[in-house]
């Protein structure tokens, strides 16, 4: 038997499906905090969606699949107008439908998604359900994806949910379901299938088994700067698997050309233009800023949209006349709107800086969002925005080290250029985990033991500080190179 979830993995890749079913305890499949948070938010969205349908009968997950199918049949025979999580089996495929609403001309199938729009992958997801239901004699009159509404603003501007009618799209592919599902069942009965790597490894979701399938070769074509999954798959289809396979006259961005030179010579490349590019960083006092944000499917603070990011933490270093730096940090506490205090502390700490260095444009977007959310400090925040100066383009346009592996993210650049600043001793090492941990501290602190709360706060403060300190040191190293 395969479930709808299995089917969707198999839709992406048979090898992925096979591993998930044959190695359910694989280390790649163990949910980390980020994945668990996604599940939790999906469950919350599902529960809120059910509140939109009065008098529904919920088929509980705890029962066995066969029992759930029986309970669903009983509810339908008893005349239920709405069924939640109704379970059905046909030809070795098990599905549980989020919402089924009885209508005059048939049932209305509603698949609930926590995304803020209808996505391509929702069509096969709904189609396999529609097919299993049709095999059970259920006539469907309409199929909708019920997703979060990106125009919604908390708490009461618009509706949290929007629906997209996908009946026609589903009808178009539902006839393929018998063959697709029986092929998946055959694959599961056989040995590990041989599937070549390609675009499907990233679409619709990043495959957790990438490290098993993709070469770790630093010269692999997927390591070329500015090559995403689509371009990498295109290169591989054309027989170009390594960066060295590229034709000498291949059209590439300048940073990629510099990468080719660095790989060929196996050394760091520094352009003479670096000196001039650093002129803008000469003014002092010079600040260095990094934000961490929270992003919730169902927004909790005023005027926020689903999944919108809101600054809840920052780290700030500022140069002093004696050549040292002062450090300031802020991390929100409690479930109330964090943005007014973040904005206030930020304005206060950055007041004397002539320029404020960031690494990427993300901080600019967050300062703009703060100005909109905290109108009383909008003027000061706009003034801060004017001071921002981004170091990332300076690195991208002037420097390449073979160890960058095609990326100019701070986590790729620091180990190569500033080995004394490492993230390897930290508990939190990426922004996604930081975001989920902040959300835990803010919104479910009562479920976390006090000791753990303090430890996580310290981990978050350490992580954010390391990013601004890394930027400080990176600028120092770049200046030395330019010199």
Measured from the CB atom, the residue of 300 and 405 that comes closer to ligand SF4 is: 405
Three-state secondary-structure class, residue 72: helix
Q: Pull the structure tokens for residue 258.
A: 């510099």
| E runs forming strands in 241-382 | 269-270, 286-295, 309-319, 325-331, 355-358
Measured from the CB atom, the residue of 210 and 238 that comes closer to ligand SF4 is: 210
Measured from the CB atom, the residue of 31 and 253 that comes closer to ligand SF4 is: 31
Residue 444 CB, nearest approach to ligand SF4 (Å): 33
If you ran DSSP here, which 8-state letter would residue 220 be given? B
Measured from the CB atom, the residue of 5 and 141 that comes closer to ligand SF4 is: 5
What is the number of alpha carbons within 13 Å of residue 304 lying toward its C-beta? 21
Residue 190 CB, nearest approach to ligand SF4 (Å): 15
Residue 22 CB, nearest approach to ligand SF4 (Å): 12
**What is the C-alpha to C-alpha distance for residues 95 and 88, in angstroms, rounded to an integer?**
6
Residue 21 CB, nearest approach to ligand SF4 (Å): 12
Interface with ligand SF4 (CB under 6 A): 13, 15-16, 195, 197, 200-201, 207, 209-210, 213
Measured from the CB atom, the residue of 120 and 159 that comes closer to ligand SF4 is: 120
Residue 223 CB, nearest approach to ligand SF4 (Å): 16
Residue 219 CB, nearest approach to ligand SF4 (Å): 19
Measured from the CB atom, the residue of 60 and 212 that comes closer to ligand SF4 is: 212
Tokens 């510099």 belong to which residue? 258
Residue 407 CB, nearest approach to ligand SF4 (Å): 19
Residue 208 CB, nearest approach to ligand SF4 (Å): 7
| Residue 389: closest CA among 344, 419, 367, 359 | 359
Q: Are 441 and 448 in contact (CB under 8 A)?
A: yes
Three-state secondary-structure class, residue 351: coil
Tokens 């600019």 belong to which residue? 364
Measured from the CB atom, the residue of 69 and 201 that comes closer to ligand SF4 is: 201
Residue 188 CB, nearest approach to ligand SF4 (Å): 14
Residue 19 CB, nearest approach to ligand SF4 (Å): 6
Q: Pull the structure tokens for residue 202.
A: 């990233």
Three-state SS for 124-187 is HHHHHHHHHHHHCCCCEEEEEEEEECCCCECCCECCCEEEEECHHHHHHHHCCHHHHHHHHHHH
**What is the C-alpha to C-alpha distance for residues 10 and 18, in angstroms, rounded to an integer?**
8
What is the sign of the dihedral through the CA atoms of 296, 298, 300 and 306? positive
Measured from the CB atom, the residue of 221 and 395 that comes closer to ligand SF4 is: 221
Measured from the CB atom, the residue of 152 and 202 that comes closer to ligand SF4 is: 202
Measured from the CB atom, the residue of 220 and 339 that comes closer to ligand SF4 is: 220
Sequential DSSP letters for 354-405: SEEEESSSHHHHHHHHHHHH-GGGHHHHHHHHHHEEESHHHHHHHEE-GGGT
Query: Please, what's the b/e burial string for 385-414 (b: 16 or more CB within 10 A of its CB; e: otherwise)?
Result: bebbbbbbebbbbbbbbbebbbebebebbb
């Amino acid at each position: 038997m395969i479930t709808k979830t299995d089917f969707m993995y198999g839709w992406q890749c048979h090898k992925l499906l096979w591993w998930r079913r044959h190695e359910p305890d694989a280390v790649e499949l163990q949910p980390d905090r980020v994945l668990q948070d996604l599940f939790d938010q999906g469950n919350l969205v599902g529960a809120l969606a059910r509140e939109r349908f009065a008098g529904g009968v919920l088929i509980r997950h705890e029962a066995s699949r066969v029992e759930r199918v029986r309970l669903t049949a009983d509810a339908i025979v008893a005349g239920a107008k709405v069924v939640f999580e109704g379970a059905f089996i046909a030809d070795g495929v098990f599905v549980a439908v989020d919402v089924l609403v009885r209508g005059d001309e048939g049932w209305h199938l509603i698949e609930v998604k926590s995304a803020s729009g209808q996505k391509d992958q929702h069509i096969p997801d709904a189609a396999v359900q529609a097919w299993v239901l049709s095999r059970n004699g259920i006539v469907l009159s309409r199929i909708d994806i019920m997703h979060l509404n990106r125009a919604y603003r908390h708490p009461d501007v618009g509706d949290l949910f929007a629906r997209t009618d996908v009946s026609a799209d589903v009808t178009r592919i539902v006839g393929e379901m018998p063959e697709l599902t029986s092929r998946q069942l055959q694959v599961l009965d056989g040995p590990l299938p041989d599937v070549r790597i390609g675009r499907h490894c990233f679409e619709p979701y990043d495959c957790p088994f990438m490290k098993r399938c993709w070469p770790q070769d630093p010269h692999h074509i997927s390591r070329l700067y500015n090559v995403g999954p689509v371009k990498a798959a295109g290169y591989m289809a054309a027989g170009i698997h390594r960066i060295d396979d590229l034709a000498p006259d291949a059209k590439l961005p300048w940073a990629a050309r510099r990468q080719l030179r660095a790989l060929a010579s196996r050394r760091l490349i520094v352009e003479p233009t670096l000196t001039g590019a650093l002129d803008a960083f000469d003014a002092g006092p010079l600040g260095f800023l990094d934000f961490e944000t929270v992003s919730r499917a169902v927004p909790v603070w005023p005027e926020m949209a689903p999944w919108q990011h809101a600054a809840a933490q920052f780290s700030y270093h500022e140069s002093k006349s004696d050549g040292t730096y002062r450090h300031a940090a802020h991390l929100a506490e409690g479930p109330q709107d964090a943005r007014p205090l973040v904005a206030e502390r930020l304005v206060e700490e950055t007041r004397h800086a002539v320029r404020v260095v960031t690494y990427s444009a993300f901080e600019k977007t967050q300062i703009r969002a703060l100005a909109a959310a905290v109108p009383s400090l909008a003027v000061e925040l706009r003034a801060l925005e004017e001071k921002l100066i981004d170091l990332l383009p300076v690195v991208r346009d002037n420097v390449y080290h073979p160890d960058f592996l095609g990326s100019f993210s701070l986590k790729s650049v620091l180990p190569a250029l500033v080995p004394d600043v490492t993230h390897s001793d930290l508990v939190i090492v990426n922004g996604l985990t930081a975001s989920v941990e902040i959300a835990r501290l803010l919104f479910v602190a009562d479920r976390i033991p006090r000791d753990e709360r303090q430890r996580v706060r310290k981990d978050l403060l350490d992580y954010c500080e390391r990013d601004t300190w890394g930027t400080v040191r990176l600028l120092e190293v770049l200046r030395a190179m330019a010199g």
